[in-house]
Amino acid sequence: MEIYFLGTNAGVPTLQRNVTSVALRLLEERRSFWMFDCGEGTQHQVLRSPLRLGRLEKLFITHLHGDHLFGLPGLLSSRGYQGGTAPLTVYGPPGLKAYLDISLSVSQSRIPYKLEVVEHNGGLIFEDDSFKVESALLEHRIDSYGYRVIEKDRPGSLNAERLKAYGLKPGPLYGVLKSGRDVTTDEGITITAAEVLSEPKRGRIVTVLGDTRPCGNSIPLAREADLLVHEATFSHDLARMARDYHHSTTVQAAEIAKEAGARQLILTHFSSRYGSLDELIPLLDEARSIFSETLLAEEFRLYPVERKTGN
């Protein structure tokens, strides 16, 4: 599981950065990737990345401002031209379906795969055997949502040497033990799952927040997240401007991460007033003064989501 930034700028693109889009690579877990937001030019960013649109499984839109949305019709159309045939689900606030219906129909775009658009007002929006995704409303000029991706705990590994000592060969009983249930062999030997199974692998939590002022829903969405992606449009000396424009500062993002007990924070959605990476270093320093495990989002860089070990 890895985070990969395709766009890190707020409002409009610059020569240094594109507008917002974040990929969650799940190649080992699902052989796919998920995307959060799709600003204008995102498909060009994908072409410069190791991502392949045919593997895009889910796309989550935080809100309907153009810098998070205008790249979506083109990307959906290009996915088909690039051989994408697997179903794709797009999640987002009410109004998303109308936007896509009009954009795709007026442009006579052909979508040669099953495209499902799920509009939501927060809550549990997806769940299967491996993952669930929760969402909650944030505080922005229009409805903006944060997403909490929860990887479910996975069973531990079987101790092959211990099973061999019992004379148990690979077969159906392995699956029973893997599920945590005890078994009895044909010889009448009872093997308990606890003695041959390692501790479950703790699932990871990734939280991606849309544009927002500091608000109450940010904390539960980010609670004990292994990685929190939070906007930091402005440095903290511009806190008044951030509030007026319904955005957050570096310090506010760091305070959310600290209060929520997150393990790592990545700042993104930077104002175009900050040009080069060097100009963003003071913003990083501000955040680290509150929450030391903070990084700056850099486009075309992978950020592994580490699995917590121990208690």
Instruction: Please tell me whether 65 is known to bind a ligand.
Output: yes
Residue 153 known to be catalytic? no
* Whole-number CA gyration radius for the chain: 22
Instruction: Please tell me whether 247 is known to bind a ligand.
Output: no
Sheet holding 88-92, edge to edge: 115-119, 88-92, 56-60, 32-36, 21-26, 2-7, 302-304
How are beta strands 56-60 and 88-92 bridged, if at all? Answer: parallel
Instruction: Please tell me whether 67 is known to bind a ligand.
Output: yes
Task: List residues bridging with 35 in a β-sheet.
Answer: 23, 59
Contact 39, 12 (CB under 8 A): no
Instruction: Please tell me whether 140 is known to bind a ligand.
Output: yes
How many Cα atoms are found within 13 Å in the side-chain-facing hemisphere of 153?
13
d(CA 310, CA 202): 9
Instruction: Please tell me whether 120 is known to bind a ligand.
Output: no
> What would the DSSP string read from start to end of 28-62?
TTTSEEEEE---TTHHHHHHTSS--GGGEEEEE--
CA-nearest of 295, 300, 133 to 230 is 295
Distance of alpha carbon 278 from its chain centroid, rounded? 26
Instruction: List CB contacts of 251: < 8 A, sequence separation 6 or more.
Output: 236, 239, 286, 287, 289, 290
Token duo for residue 227: 């990685």
The catalytic residue among 37, 67, 143, 226 is 67
State the binding site for Zn(2+): 63, 65, 67-68, 140, 211, 269
Catalytic residues: 67
State the binding site: 63, 65, 67-68, 140, 211, 269
